A = this chain, B = another copy of it.
Amino acid sequence: MANIYFVGLGPSKMFLTKASIEAMRNADLIMLDKYTSITCDLTAEALTEITGRPVILADRNLLENRQREIIKHLDEGRNVAVVTVGDPMIATTHVSLAIEARKKGHDLKVIPGISVHCYVISKSMLSSYKFGRSVTVTFPVLGKLDPTPYRVIKANREQGLHTILYLDLKEDAVMTAEVALNYLLQLEKEIGEGVLTHEDWIVVGERLGCPDERVRAMKIKAAKMEKFGEPPHIIIVPSRNLYEMEVEALKCLV
């Protein structure tokens, strides 16, 4: 029997914890999830340097479809660390591997890292009690946009809640805030329920945790003219019933 560690690295090297470094050093083999997040400095080379362990870049196919290979390492007594930028279990696809390893009798250890989810809530200074469910804005499939983000923002707004929008990430494409905003405004045009107007605030986070990080609040009409920096980006659509203090907080981010 062996240990499988699911380790969160946080958004960048500056946010690594002793807990995450120790877990990686306890592993014989590190698999760096390279498909659920992107990062400025958490490379395989950087992790090898920090941990002294071999690091394999793991794609979706290995972590989702070829789990047997990973379980085999465990069965042969090798401790494995599956490591993820951000948090290992939030908005990733690693739970099924965790369950499989546990069913085979291996020890499952989850080491949370700072997730972009909480990072952007904190940076926005909006009330953390007013966040509803989150949703991902995805690329169109066969030219058709998924209306789910629009529906989720609407449902959250009806309850006075803010919405975090994750932006799609594929092997070959990363969605920027510009593109996501265009999709949302296209959905507004098609569905037309007044969920997004030019006077609404949004908060856009760019390169969270990196030296060129920006977290800015702006009206949608201003965001439309904006050229954002390098991805990754993330968006908060605040509710319309902002507390006085939330309005003041957003003004700190203008």
Contact = CB atoms under 8 A, between A and B. Distances in A.
Given A132-B133, A133-B159, A249-B98, A122 B87 contact: yes
Contacts of A119: 112
Contacts of A245: 95-96, 99
Chain A's interface size range is 35 or more
Contacts of A17: 10, 14-17, 114
A90 B117 contact: no
A69 interface: no
A229 B95 CA distance: 27
Given A15-B17, A17-B17, A245-B99, A118 B112 contact: yes
A175 interface: no
A42 to B, nearest CB: 13
Contacts of A95: 125, 245, 249
Interface in A1-53: 8, 10, 13-19, 22
A108 B252 CA distance: 9
A232 interface: no
A89 to B, nearest CB: 4
A121 interface: yes
A83 to B, nearest CB: 13
A241 to B, nearest CB: 13
Contact of A130 (B13, B19, B133): B133
A113 interface: yes
A125 to B, nearest CB: 5
A195 interface: no
Contacts of A99: 125, 245, 248-249, 252
A102 to B, nearest CB: 5
6 contacts: A17-B114, A90-B122, A98-B249, A110-B122, A112-B119, A115-B122
Given A19-B209, A89-B125, 5 more contacts: A16-B17, A98-B249, A112-B118, A129-B135, A131-B134
